């Protein structure tokens, strides 16, 4: 059996690489006991803000066998989205993960191919694929599988290429040779904590989600609170500050996914054009983009808030 476990693990890893995943790791499907207490406390402190969906499916979040009955292994994958492309330097900014097509579709397409290839190569496998779309503790599983460690900003960091990655999982009923975690390489560095303008990054690798710029600009459906005025640093959708300052991201490489390439209109937009953004232009630029999550009205709210703030600071 152990030979099969090794052989199947090798097939899974080489197939994942062929499909463009940069790093692959395997862990045994089990209840994440050490995460349970952390998640409970995080929710009790209200760090999820108004993201009430975080309170749902507590057991499923921690136990993959409740998501996929009979699950034996969790395969964690990393898909690069880092890019050298930059928006107009004087423009309001969106997080680079949203430059191109929505990663949910791009990565999920890859995962579906992945599962069907594995069924051909290995035989009848029962399992499900996940891309940030179900209650899966993806960072915890990625850490368990050794493809990175959890940084002080709560994100998964890989020693070879940093943190500009989408995480995905394959939870399957196949027993595989597992990899095991690696050590934490953050050391005494606190750049991400020091540079966060809203003080959302707390000690012990904890993120107060309700203070994160991404939360305000994407998840929050109400008016933006006045007390964050001057703290959004021109981010109108998401935020890359804690990743941009992370020393490990000096090793980040350009992604190889054409579907992640931004439209030239997005890169060239000026603040005047953002201010005058119509629903039609929004739909055109962000046709298949993750930015649709905040909707036209949400993005307009963020743009108005930031441009009013900029005008006020210049008067």
pLDDT (tens digit, 9 = 90+) per residue, 249-290?
999 999 999 999 999 999 999 999 999 999 999 999 999 999
Asked if 113 contacts 41 with a C-beta cutoff of 8 angstroms, the reply is: no
DSSP line for 32-79: -HHHHHHHHHHHHTTTTTT-GGGGS-HHHHH-HHHHSTT--EEEEEEE
Please state the rounded mean pLDDT for residues 126-138: 86
Please state the rounded mean pLDDT for residues 65-88: 95
| 315 confidence band (pLDDT: 50, 70, 90) | very low
Residue with tokens 């921690």: 62
Which residue did the predictor score with more confidence, 51 or 176?
Answer: 176
Which residue did the predictor score with more confidence, 156 or 203?
Answer: 156
CA atoms within 13 A on the CB side of 9: 21
pLDDT one-digit tens code per residue, 283-294? 999 999 999 999
Nearest to 34 by CA among 271, 175, 205: 205
- Which residues does residue 202 pair with via DSSP β-bridges, in sequence order? 206
Give 29's contacts (C-beta < 8 A, 6+ positions apart). Answer: 64, 65, 68, 71, 72, 73, 74, 171
What is the rounded average pLDDT for all residues in the chain?
A: 93
Please state the rounded mean pLDDT for residues 84-101: 95
Known catalytic residues are 132
**Chain-centre distance of CA 263, in angstroms?**
21
pTM of the shown model: 0.94
Does the pLDDT value for residue 52 go beyond 90? no
**Chain-centre distance of CA 286, in angstroms?**
19
Please state the rounded mean pLDDT for residues 56-66: 84
Tokens (6 digits) for 161: 């290429």
**Distance, CA of 25 to CA of 146 (rounded, Å):** 6
> Which residue ranges make up each domain of the chain?
1-308
**Distance, CA of 76 to CA of 27 (rounded, Å):** 8
DSSP 133: S
**Distance, CA of 125 to CA of 5 (rounded, Å):** 14
Tell me, what's the pLDDT at 312?
Answer: 58
DSSP 251: G
Please state the rounded mean pLDDT for residues 83-95: 94
Share of the chain above pLDDT 70, in %: 97
Tell me, what's the pLDDT at 1?
Answer: 46
**Distance, CA of 150 to CA of 139 (rounded, Å):** 7
Nearest to 37 by CA among 186, 203, 166, 206: 206
Does the pLDDT value for residue 314 go beyond 60? no
**Distance, CA of 198 to CA of 217 (rounded, Å):** 13
Q: Please give the biggest Cα pair distance in the chain.
A: 73
């Amino acid at each position: 059996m152990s030979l099969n476990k090794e052989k199947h693990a090798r097939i899974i890893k080489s197939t994942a690489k062929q499909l463009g995943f940069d790093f692959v790791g395997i862990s045994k499907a089990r209840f994440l006991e050490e995460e349970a207490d952390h998640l409970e406390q995080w929710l009790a402190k209200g760090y999820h803000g108004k993201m009430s969906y975080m309170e749902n499916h507590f057991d499923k979040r921690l136990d993959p066998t409740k998501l996929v009955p009979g699950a034996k292994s969790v395969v964690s994958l990393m898909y690069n989205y880092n890019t050298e492309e930059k928006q107009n330097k004087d423009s309001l900014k969106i997080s680079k993960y949203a430059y191109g097509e929505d990663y949910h579709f791009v990565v999920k397409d890859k995962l579906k191919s992945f599962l069907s290839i594995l069924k051909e190569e290995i035989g009848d496998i029962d399992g499900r694929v996940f891309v940030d779309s179900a209650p899966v503790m993806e960072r915890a599983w990625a850490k368990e599988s050794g493809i990175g460690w959890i940084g002080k900003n709560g994100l998964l960091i890989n020693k070879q290429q940093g943190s500009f990655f989408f995480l995905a999982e394959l939870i399957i009923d196949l027993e595989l040779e597992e990899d095991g975690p690696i050590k934490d390489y953050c050391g005494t560095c606190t750049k991400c904590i020091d540079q966060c303008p809203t003080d959302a990054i707390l000690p012990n690798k904890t993120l107060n989600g309700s203070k994160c710029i991404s939360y305000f600009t994407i998840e929050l459906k109400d008016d933006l609170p006045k007390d964050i005025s001057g703290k959004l640093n021109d981010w109108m959708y998401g935020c890359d500050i804690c990743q941009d300052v992370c020393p490990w991201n000096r090793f980040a490489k350009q992604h190889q996914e054409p579907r992640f390439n931004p439209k030239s209109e997005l890169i060239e937009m000026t603040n005047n054009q953002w201010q005058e953004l119509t629903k039609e232009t929004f739909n055109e630029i962000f046709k298949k983009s993750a930015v649709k999550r905040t909707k036209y009205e949400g993005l307009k709210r963020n743009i108005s808030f930031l441009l009013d703030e900029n005008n006020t600071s210049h008067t």
